Amino acid sequence: MSSCSCVLAGSANICSKGAAICEPCSSAAKANPAPPLPPRSNSTPRSSDGRRRLVFIIIGSISLAGILSAAALRFVILPIYRNRGRIHDTVELHAGAAEAPLPPGVPSERLRPDIAEYSNPPISRQLSIGHGSTIKEFPLAVLLAATDNFSDDHKIGSGGFGSVYRAVLDDGRVVAIKRAEPPPAAASSSHADQRRRRDRDRETAFLSELALLSRVNHKNLVRLLGFCNQNGERVLVYEFMANGTLHDHLHKLAVSPLASWAARLRVALDAARGIEYLHAYAVPPIIHRDIKSSNILLDATWTAKVADFGLSLLSPSSDDEHTRDPSSPRAAGTVGYMDPQYYRLQHLTTKSDVYSFGVVLLELLTGCRAVHRNDESGTPTNLVEYAVPQIDEDDVHSVIDRRLPPPTPSEIETVAFVGYLAADCVSPDGKDRPTMSEIVAGLERAMAACSGQPPPVLMRSATARSF
């Protein structure tokens, strides 16, 4: 055992038998004491507050960035995206386009401030026309200049939508300009409120119909070139049809190039193809509502095209449900052409157009108006009631137009077939009428037989009733 008063720390592990290494006690007293514990910090609450402030700053920054991003999306990115999809081949209208200056000398009565106060901003801001569209938005000043302020000297007709004017644009194109008629003046303040609502409804209808018309493209439909919705005016611009209406050639002109069975059959086939497109290929399908000979126009090459599809809802008289008369030409059809089943049931279908087209076929066959006066008694006679009973008795040739040369041997069967087809189209029950696709197929066979091609079998059983 060691007798040292002060033992060197750890020496017992080195020495054996309990020996140890001694050291002076004064050295042991100077040994380094264990390091003291650090004093309690007084900064802990301050550091915690700083961390909270840092968290609040981060959260606030993220929220502000989100708000700014949403604002950028709403006011910058979305307008750019929308404008990319708006493919007007058009004159771009600016914010003040509705008040664009008009040509000097325009009479104030030519404008419609009573309608203008209800009109919406330019349609180019509301209507997105599909890719590839050639629809143009015309400034009103251009159309006023082209028509001499809608002068009667340029007026060539009128219809359910309004007056029609012939005009020449700056680029030399000849066009037909259809100007919507203003609604009748309000008689009282209550009527004025009703009129405001009707004007708004009419504006909505104009936009929807214009969107529909802009998507329609077929060689046998009159092409819409553009529109104007400025200063209370609603105007549509169409291609000009140089040779007028089928109605004029059948009932007004003393001499017409349509004085042969082949020419009339060609017009019938052209018009049928146009209506077939509306029913079977337009998206959504379109019911014309007012098929008649005055809505079948002829261009410079005598190609027949159907006009005024989709416009019956825009006429001034078609806004008030309480005053709408189903017998009114502007409601849905024209007297003599209107489907009697629609008149009774107030249910419009594509077969209503088929009925009206059947009346047109009877006009082409007989040369008579849809409602004409009997030569002997002078009383009004409905063409369907006059011709169909004789056709049903297989006596088609007793009702054919005597102004045309007698049918040639190759035309006799064709003329009879067209008579049977017309009778099928005006069947009292819509279910018994053919579709426009079936009518086109029948007229194509008739055209082939009339032109001397190997004749198909044309008989009553080959019309739509057996399809």
Binding-site residue set for ATP = 178
CB 308 within 8 A of CB 343: no
Question: Residue positions in the annotated binding site?
Answer: 178
290 is catalytic: yes
How far apart (Å, rounded) are the C-alpha atoms in residues 351 and 353?
A: 5
Say if residue 284 is preceded by a cis peptide, omega within 30 of 0.
yes
DSSP secondary structure letters along 301-317: T--EEE--TT-GGGSGG
List 270, 290, 319, 339, catalytic entry: 290
The most distant pair of C-alpha atoms in the chain lies apart, rounded to whole Å, by 164
Sheet holding 155-158, edge to edge: 136-137, 224-230, 233-239, 174-180, 162-168, 155-158
Of 434, 436, 427, the C-alpha closest to 463 is 434
d(CA 99, CA 132): 29
The answer to whether the beta carbons of residues 147 and 177 sit under 8 Å apart is: yes
Q: Give the closest residue to 230 by CA, choosing from 94, 87, 79, 134.
A: 94
What amino acid positions are annotated as catalytic residues?
Answer: 290
